Structure 1
């Protein structure tokens, strides 16, 4: 299966040489699952044209420093792309900004949360188990980095991952072909720590310190990545 990775932002410049672009993080994540995937990247936030989603095998929409409410030339075309992909039942995954823009495009509400920054390893309750998450534990611990949240999910989505900080952290859509998560299973621990430290000055020191300390907790990112791989394989 070929995954078309829609890159909607890049690794911050101070970290880019060390960690590479986001689409490579996703390639590494999927390759670690042992899935038989091939890849192409579309740098949407750099102005590359979006393909016809009906002709794609599967779609991944990455994180971004942008918000769904930003007046950027590529965001409205991306909304149309998401709606067309949903209508065509093309398998589609969104992570962080991808999670938010999918919800926004499909009828939900997204905004900057009054709770402030979420970063570091957060613990999420598994609130539902679609077939691809059969056998999932009660909780998953995965890194995140965001201020915006899905406040109201689309009517066509079921919440499958939740926390007190992020009540709508994972959404499975009822067409069984669209899936999204607020946390980042593609982040390595080194990158999560470096990104949290980079936020110092923008986020309160105590939030950054707590985020960096949280990375010492065991990670379930590989498990979430495996569930995503099952989703793309149809079960």
Structure 2
């Protein structure tokens, strides 16, 4: 039975706010998705941002088969105790050698922990649908994106983005809005696969997120009025209920790669399918002698 650790990127207040609007915190959503993909998994949820959070040393993290880092409103470039605690946690994940996966703020946290940089987006936001994500040459052959089309759309909502990847990272996918949409990071003996979009989310949850951030979306120039945002949210919620409804696919400009839950979860499924390979590769790298220092 695999044992997964899900790390909330949200603070306690943010978790409660998301539960009120969406019914679950980001970590609870991740856990629910993982249980659907791997019903026999044992899942532990932690909140590294909290001042009373359990501190996981590298040995303790090593007992897990994988670590998942959620999205959140976290700004990893803010120098505050919550961010510092999460960066410390992520560095411990890398050092433990446990394979890890993250989306949105989860990708940004891994980037910052490994020495890369994150910034507020010059274009302000990507909200609802990340359009025409395209693999790089490296991404076409990477198992994270196995089965993906030549380009695809994915659920997304973020105002921050990765500016520069750390050393020993590989850019796997981009689009016209955000250059770093998917990446692999190898750091301090650990391997992280991550995406800027949200393969773990249902379309109904994206609809909730749009409604919560309607004023920000208008301010970013993505919609003229909050009523326009509500209309888009209603379409996404309806597609959640009926993913084969052709009129909604046409109105939203998406295909079944976006509408069907199994296809949206491609990256998560690929990560789970390749866990043994990632772990074996990582342990082999850690065991290899450093011939340059001999």
Q: What's 2:222 paired with?
A: 207
Alignment of 1:161-180 (within 5 A): 161-174=173-186, 177-180=191-194
TM-score, structure 2 length as denominator?
0.72
- Report the alpha carbon displacement of residue 192 of structure 1 after superposing the two structures with TM: 0.3
Q: Is 1:54–1:85's contact at 8 Å kept on the other side of the alignment?
A: no
- Report the alpha carbon displacement of residue 55 of structure 1 after superposing the two structures with TM: 2.5
Q: What's 1:182 paired with?
A: 196
Structure 1 stretches lacking a partner, 5+ long: none
* Structure-2 change in CA distance of 1:66 and 1:173 (3 Å): closer
CA root-mean-square deviation: 2.5
Q: What's 1:222 paired with?
A: 265
Structure 2 stretches lacking a partner, 5+ long: 237-251, 279-294
Q: What's 1:192 paired with?
A: 206
- Report the alpha carbon displacement of residue 145 of structure 1 after superposing the two structures with TM: 1.0
* Structure-2 change in CA distance of 1:115 and 1:54 (3 Å): farther
Q: What's 2:46 paired with?
A: 42
Q: Which moved more, 1:129-138 or 1:53-62?
A: 129-138
Comparing both structures, which one devotes a greater share of its residues to helix?
A: 2
- Report the alpha carbon displacement of residue 46 of structure 1 after superposing the two structures with TM: 3.0
Q: Output the CA distance in 1 between the equivalents of 2:153 and 2:234.
A: 14
Q: Which moved more, 1:217-226 or 1:162-171?
A: 217-226
Alignment of 1:67-86 (within 5 A): 67-86=75-94
Q: What's 1:25 paired with?
A: 29
- Report the alpha carbon displacement of residue 3 of structure 1 after superposing the two structures with TM: 1.2
Q: Give the alignment partner of residue 171 of structure 2, picking from 147, 159, 175.
A: 159
- Largest Rg, 1 or 2: 2
* Structure-2 change in CA distance of 1:74 and 1:176 (3 Å): closer
TM-score, structure 1 length as denominator?
0.88
Q: What's 1:59 paired with?
A: 67
Structure with the larger RCO, 1 or 2 (CA within 8 Å, 6+ apart): 1
SS in structure 2 at match of 1:39 = strand
* Structure-2 change in CA distance of 1:139 and 1:35 (3 Å): farther
Q: What's 1:144 paired with?
A: 156
Q: Which moved more, 1:129-138 or 1:78-87?
A: 129-138
Q: Is 1:118–1:145's contact at 8 Å kept on the other side of the alignment?
A: yes
- Report the alpha carbon displacement of residue 72 of structure 1 after superposing the two structures with TM: 2.6
How many residue pairs get matched? 235
